[in-house]
Amino acid sequence: MGYTVVTEDVSFVIPPANVEAALVALKGIAALADTVDAPASLIAAIEDHGFDARDTSDGGVALTCYCDKSATQDELVLTLTPYAEEGSFIEWRGEQDERWRDLVHDGKLYTQYPQVSWGPDPSDPGLAAAVPPTLSTIIPTLYRDGTNCKASGQIRLTGPITPTQIAALRDALDEGLYYAPADIGHTHLGSHEWPHGFPRDGVDHCWHEMDVDNIDIVATEDLAESGDHIQHGGTPAQFITAVTAAAERGWPSSTLNSDH
C-alpha cells in the first residue's frame, strides 16, 4: 500500500563547493565523524531517501530519479534546496496522473503546477515558498584560572560547519585546543563570570579552551536566546579565517601569560 510517485524530468545539482555542507545538513552531526569521500557520502545519504544520484564531472552531485512509494523524498529535496544550483527542478507524476514541479529559486523551494505550460517565471515565482530550516553551529568553550575555577561559554556560528573546516580549526588552535579570545575579537570569559576584581594577579591568564570534539549543529530556530556567555563568530568560514590569522600571528595575547 502507499502512494507511488515518479520523476519525469530532473535537473537538480549540488555544486562541488556545496557538497560537504549539504551532507552535513542532510545527515546532521553524524556527518562530522564521516571519514569517507564526501560526494560518495552525500550520494549514500540521498539514496537512503529513495532517490538515485550520481557524481557530476566537476565534483558535484546530481539527483537523477525517484520511483517509489511517497516517503521522505520531500524532506530530502527541501533540505538540499539551500545548497542546490539556482533553477534546479524536479518534475513529478503521481499514480493518479497528477503532475507538479519543484523549483529552486533564491534558496527556496517552489511548487508549480502545469497548465498550458509551466507556471510563473523563476525570477518571479509568485507562489508561496516552503522555507528550509537554517542551521547554526555551537562550539563549547572553557576558561580555567590558575586555581582551576572554571567559566563555560559557547561560540555560535551562522551556518553548519563542515568536517574540513573543523580540521582547519583544530590545526589553528594551540595544541589543538587553546586560543586567546582577545586575538579573535571575543571577550575573556573571566570578565563575564567574575566582573568584579578581574583580572587577578597570578591567577588569571589569557588562554581558553575550544572543544572542537563536541561541536553541535542545530536548527537556528531551536537555539536558546540565552545561555552560558554566548559569543558570535560570523559564518564558519569567517570564524576560521579569524582563528587562522591569530595563529599565524603567534597568538599575540599569549604574552600576557604563556602557561596554559
* Per-residue model confidence as pLDDT tens digits over 98-122: 999 999 999 999 999 887 555 666 6
Listed in sequence order, the residues at least 6 apart from 204 whose beta carbon sits closer than 8 Å to its beta carbon are 145, 146, 188, 190, 198, 257
Up-side HSE of residue 130: CA atoms within 13 Å toward CB? Answer: 16
> What is the percent of the chain where pLDDT is above 70?
86
> 207: closest CA among 232, 229, 227, 190?
190
> 85: closest CA among 9, 13, 11, 10?
13
List, in sequence order, every residue forming a beta bridge with 32; answer none if it has no partner: none
Query: Cell for 194?
Result: 567574575
pLDDT at 257: 43
**Cα angle: 103, vertex 105, 110; to 5 degrees:** 45
- Domain extents for the chain? 4-112, 135-256
pLDDT at 74: 87
pLDDT at 148: 92
pLDDT at 71: 73
pLDDT tens for the chain, 260 residues: list them: 457 899 999 999 999 999 999 999 988 755 665 545 555 689 999 998 889 999 999 999 999 999 887 777 888 999 999 999 999 999 999 888 899 999 999 999 999 988 755 566 666 666 677 888 899 999 999 999 989 999 999 999 999 999 999 999 999 999 999 999 999 999 999 988 888 878 888 888 999 999 999 999 999 988 877 667 899 999 999 999 999 999 999 998 765 443 44
pLDDT at 254: 60
pLDDT at 234: 96
157-170 pLDDT, tens digit each: 999 999 999 999 99
